[in-house]
């Protein structure tokens, strides 16, 4: 993710759609971690987690029509790997939740929240003028 964000995105810049959409991807991913952190593992909570995890996996592909136009083949390869890692990360989160590894989950929440804050600020405020001329 860091190669995609800090190399490819900074190299080409993001358009308005991606500047708004990438934080949405991160937020959907983060919601799965909130469920695992704030709710005990149970059958009913498991269904909420599965729903949010499935939604997160679907949401991340929403930008592909833009990526086919804007991205280099190397960046598209990174995206392919990220699309494979995403559900595996959520399966790992599920295992940690089921086995009560809340401390690790909370550390991940902190890291993901920092990244989300960066995405919102950098692409929608700090670099906003770049995408306004692009799209």
Please, which pLDDT band fits residue 127 given cuts at 50, 70 and 90?
confident
Neighbours of 54 (CB within 10 A): 13
Predicted confidence (pLDDT) per residue in 42-54, tens digit: 999 999 999 999 9
pTM over the 0.85 mark: yes
Residue 95 inside a domain? The answer is yes
Q: Say what the pLDDT of residue 131 is.
A: 53
Predicted confidence (pLDDT) per residue in 5-56, tens digit: 999 999 999 999 999 999 999 999 999 999 999 999 999 999 999 999 999 9
Residue 11 inside a domain? The answer is no
Residue 91 host element (H or E): helix 73-98
The better pLDDT of the pair 65, 89 is held by 89
Residue 96 inside a domain? The answer is yes
Measured distance CA(123)–CA(9) in Å, rounded: 10
Please, which pLDDT band fits residue 123 given cuts at 50, 70 and 90?
very high
The domain tally of the chain equals 1
Yes or no: say if 70 and 126 are a contact pair by the CB < 8 Å rule: no
Residue 10 inside a domain? The answer is no
Mean pLDDT for all residues in the chain: 93
Give the domain range for residue 90: 18-134
Q: Say what the pLDDT of residue 135 is.
A: 47
Residue 6 inside a domain? The answer is no
Tokens of 127: 């670099």
Residue 4 inside a domain? The answer is no
Residue 2 inside a domain? The answer is no
Residue 9 inside a domain? The answer is no
């Amino acid at each position: 993710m860091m190669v995609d964000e800090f190399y490819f995105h900074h190299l080409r810049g993001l358009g308005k759609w991606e500047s708004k959409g990438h934080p949405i991807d991160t937020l959907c991913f983060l919601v799965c971690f909130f469920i695992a952190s704030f709710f005990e593992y149970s059958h009913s909570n498991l269904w909420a987690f599965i729903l949010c995890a499935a939604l997160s996996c679907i949401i991340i592909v929403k930008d592909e029509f833009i990526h086919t136009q804007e991205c280099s083949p190397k960046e598209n390869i990174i995206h392919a790997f990220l699309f494979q890692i995403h559900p595996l990360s959520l399966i790992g989160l599920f295992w940690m939740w089921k086995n009560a590894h809340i401390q690790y989950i909370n550390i991940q929440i902190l890291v993901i929240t920092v990244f989300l804050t960066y995405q919102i600020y950098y692409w929608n405020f700090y670099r906003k003028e770049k995408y306004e001329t692009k799209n």
